[in-house]
Amino acid sequence: MDLNPYITFARDQLHVTFKDIQLLVTAFTHRSYLNEHRKSASEHNERLEFLGDAVLELVVTEYLYLNHGEPEGILTNWRSSLVRTESIGAAAERCGFADLLRLSRGEKQGSERARAQILANSFEAVIGALYLDQGWEAAKTFITENILSTFEEILATGSWMDPKSHLQETAQAAEGVTPVYKVLSEDGPDHDKIFTVGVYVGDKLRGKGTGSSKQAGQQKAAEAALAWYKNQTKV
């Protein structure tokens, strides 16, 4: 296989020269790829992801502890917002991970949600590979540049808050009313239901969301309502 794209990625995005470039290739190898390439690939990225997840959490935890004096509960919420799938998936997208992923043909045609999860997992796997090949400081630098660099924006936008809590603050500030959630529909068999939930502020529907539980639907509805309020501020 052509290793040049991975060598270039290591140089341009990770600012290192890997001693074992195969570690980095493995970090981009999804489990599904092995099913179609049994002769040319023997390891997927899940073990590296396991390691990288721990390194990521420790780097973020250390940063928050050393630089912010807030109570444990707030620090935990901040950490969760920094390491959640959406945050690290977006970082992977910015760094150009998508072009290097090794996926089966079926996974390449997967949903946007599945793709975001694969990107997030590969981001953690790359951290694991970087830690093994280059050490703690290299992994910490990569995390600082691509994850911790977004922290001020997270604080400014309030996106670290639980969407329902954030919406409650936003709606009360804007309209003096507490949001109310209502199930609009339930679809599918009992063991695999999909709930569509609406969130109302006063008598106005401000957002809808779907999920595999009422709680998940409420969270998505809150996110949609927050997006609506954000758009109003731009008008």
- Measure CA 27 to chain center: 17
**Which of the residues 2, 46, 49, 53 is marked catalytic?**
53
Of these residues, 49, 124, 133, 223, which one is catalytic? 124
Asked if 70 is an active-site residue, the reply is: no
Helix (H) or strand (E) holding 187: strand 180-187
Task: Give the HSE-up count for residue 170: Cα atoms under 13 Å, Cβ half-sphere.
Answer: 25
Q: Cβ distance 174 to 160 under 8 Å? A: no
In the beta sheet, which residues pair with residue 102?
Answer: 29
Q: In sequence order, which residues have a C-beta less than 8 Å from that of residue 111 and are 6 or more positions away?
A: none
State the alpha helices, DSSP H only, in the chain.
4-9, 21-27, 31-36, 46-67, 72-83, 85-94, 105-108, 112-134, 136-146, 151-157, 163-175, 214-234
Active-site residue 124, yes or no?
yes
**DSSP for residue 11:** I
Active site residues per annotation: 53, 124
